[in-house]
Chains A and B, each alone.
Chain A
Amino acid sequence: MLEFFIGHYAYWLVIILLCVGIYGILFKKNLIKKTIGLAVLQISVVIYWVAIASKEGATVTTLDPNIPVDQVANYLNPLTHTLMLTAIVVGVATLGVAFTLLMAIYNRYETLDEQELLDKIQ
């Protein structure tokens, strides 16, 4: 049983972060906290993709002259790492847009609390 938890610790981290992120999005009333929840959710998926690249006894995906490249078991899977670079960039862009919108909201309503905001819009 313990083996099940320790042996998959990366995936447990993913699950915990995923739950924290969704909790933040759904239940936090402050819009900044919602945005943080979103960032946590995105990072959990990034960690999942990075975790699935791992192999036992393999090294990082940088070419080492001492390790022959034709034996693929010597290196981690580089594809997921490169894909996640793109995903991280997308995530940063999303956060940029989110904070721009938050500034526009604050300039118009002078609050970032969801309940107050809804009261003011009505």
Chain B
Amino acid sequence: MIETHLPALIALTFVLFSILIPAFGLWRRELSQPLAVIGSGLAGGLSIYGFIEYLNHGAIRYSFGGWEPPVGIEFVYDGLSGFFVMVINVVAFFSIWHSGGIAKREFPGKEMPYYALAMLMLLGFNGIVMTGDLFNLFVFLEISSLAGYALIAIGDRPAPYAAFRYLIIGTAGGTLYLLGAGLLYTVTGTLNIIDMTPMLPHFAESTAVVAGLILMIVGIGVKAALFPMHGWLPDSYTYASSSSTTLIAPIGTKVAAYVLFRIIFYLFGVDLVDATAPFTYLVGVLACIGIIYGSIMAIAQSELKRMLAYSSISQIGYIIMGLSLANPWGFAGALLHVLNHAVMKACLFMVAGNLRAKEGHSDISLFDDSYRKKYPWTMTAFSIAAISMIGLPPLAGFFSKWYLVLGTIDNSNWIFLAVIVISSLLNAVYFFRVYEKMYMMDPYKGQKEPKDGEYNDVKGSMLWPTSILAVSLIVIGFANAVIVGVLLDIFPM
């Protein structure tokens, strides 16, 4: 019975908890964070169960209120959306679990609105991923964005300005997406994605369809921080509170990448997208520029969170490059990278949060040897996640890059191959810089009596999520064949 209602249940869990948290939070403020953990944990469990159900019984189309599509709005829970929902909710569960300690330190007294907004943002993300309707997608996009702007504005002194810039660019992107959806609606007369797909090939030459496609890619590209539209990202992730960054950075841009997947592979189909101009290739070139640009800028940063933000721009490039390859290996590599990067980035931002909680800063130039004695577990997690980011086997990051490389070879696309290799080297440069400080730099050099840093790692509620994510990178690395087997089955062509 529960299986048929799963898509709605996952979304409704977040609606329920975004109401429960204010209700209980007004009574007892400390209840907000445990409730948010329960809510996201429940949704995470449901989405894992849902993905297993999908593997056994196939896709679910859930129409709301008994109105059959295309008249009514439906949730489509197929392989792609099931996979993304699972990644989003499980990573969000760990982020929210971790954020309790940070919330007490960085914005005491504001836990109730913070976690209520976090639930609304996750509702928006889940809605974007599951909805089968282009206008409904816009509404969920704006729900998640509005909650996201507010979450980013909680943080350091310049955080509201960073959030404002994100708001202006992000809303302009959302508006362009809406205009694109409007152009497609004028041509086809429907907004349902599955209903629209068979109609579009009849209008392949129509300028309205081409303009609609470009507007949608540009609008969503802003949210995904695709190369020329990435300007909002570094400031937002740096100045926002560590808990907001840990929550938004691993999943926010992935959701936008999901919309690109949905538009290019499902709504249009690669042949139709490339009918008038090679748009998939152009998107891939932008992604490549983004990969190199993000890596080089990351090397130039001395603040850990800012470095990770630039690295996010480069990593989202991998995902979109995998999309632009439009072959099964590229598709599987990109989706595996969605999972890997969500786990790696969440883990790395948790490490930044742990350091800020203990040291009050996360400035790489101040790192030294004592950190690894004071915070052994945090730094172990950092080392594992960073090695995975660079892409050394047997950690998870290696395998997604490996499948992307297979995809580029399959298309004989040597430029993209070179970009992957070069950017891996650049990744190594900016992470080894931190390693060098962490393992080699002796802060007591020249002093007579060196005293070792004493064990002072963060408490369990922050340490456990960090460690579990780090360990899961190794597990994903070993289980990659199984995961890729599932992902190749999802490939729509």
Please report A residues at the B interface, Cβ cutoff 8 Å: 18, 22, 25, 31, 34-35, 38, 41-42, 45, 48-49, 52, 80, 83, 86-87, 90, 93-94, 97-98, 101-102, 104-105, 108-109, 117, 121
Closest A residue to B149 by CB, please name it.
A97
* Further 7 A-B residue pairs, CB within 8 A, beyond A38-B171, A41-B175, A49-B178: A18-B179, A25-B172, A34-B168, A83-B135, A105-B161, A108-B160, A109-B161
Give the shortest distance, in Å, between B349 (CB) and chain A (any CB). 22
In the complex, chain B residues whose CB is within 8 Å of the CB of A34: 168
**In the bound complex, do residue A52 and residue B186 qualify as a contact, i.e. CB atoms below 8 Å apart?**
yes
Given contacts A90-B139, A117-B161, A121-B158, contact A97 B167 (CB under 8 A): yes
**In the bound complex, do residue B150 and residue A25 qualify as a contact, i.e. CB atoms below 8 Å apart?**
no
* Chain A CB within 8 A of B125 CB: no
In the complex, chain B residues whose CB is within 8 Å of the CB of A83: 135
Give the shortest distance, in Å, between B493 (CB) and chain A (any CB). 31
Closest A residue to B178 by CB, please name it.
A45
In the complex, chain B residues whose CB is within 8 Å of the CB of A49: 178, 182
In the complex, chain A residues whose CB is within 8 Å of the CB of B146: 93-94, 97
* Chain A CB within 8 A of B77 CB: no
* Chain A CB within 8 A of B54 CB: no
Give the shortest distance, in Å, between B435 (CB) and chain A (any CB). 30
**In the bound complex, do residue A41 and residue B167 qualify as a contact, i.e. CB atoms below 8 Å apart?**
no
**In the bound complex, do residue B160 and residue A105 qualify as a contact, i.e. CB atoms below 8 Å apart?**
yes
Give the shortest distance, in Å, between A24 (CB) and chain B (any CB). 10
Tell me the interface secondary structure of chain B in the complex: helix
**In the bound complex, do residue B142 and residue A90 qualify as a contact, i.e. CB atoms below 8 Å apart?**
yes
Closest B residue to A106 by CB, please name it.
B160
Bound Cα distance from A108 to B179, whole angstroms? 36
**In the bound complex, do residue A98 and residue B175 qualify as a contact, i.e. CB atoms below 8 Å apart?**
no
**In the bound complex, do residue A102 and residue B139 qualify as a contact, i.e. CB atoms below 8 Å apart?**
no
Residue in B160, B171, B179, B186 whose CB lies within 8 Å of A94:
B171
Q: Can you list the 3 inter-chain pairs with the closest CB atoms, starting with the nearest?
A: A104-B160, A101-B164, A90-B142
* Chain A CB within 8 A of B265 CB: no
Given contacts A41-B172, A104-B153, contact A87 B167 (CB under 8 A): no
In the complex, chain B residues whose CB is within 8 Å of the CB of A109: 161
In the complex, chain B residues whose CB is within 8 Å of the CB of A102: 164
In the complex, chain A residues whose CB is within 8 Å of the CB of B153: 101, 104
Closest A residue to B147 by CB, please name it.
A97
Give the shortest distance, in Å, between B443 (CB) and chain A (any CB). 29
* Chain A CB within 8 A of B185 CB: yes
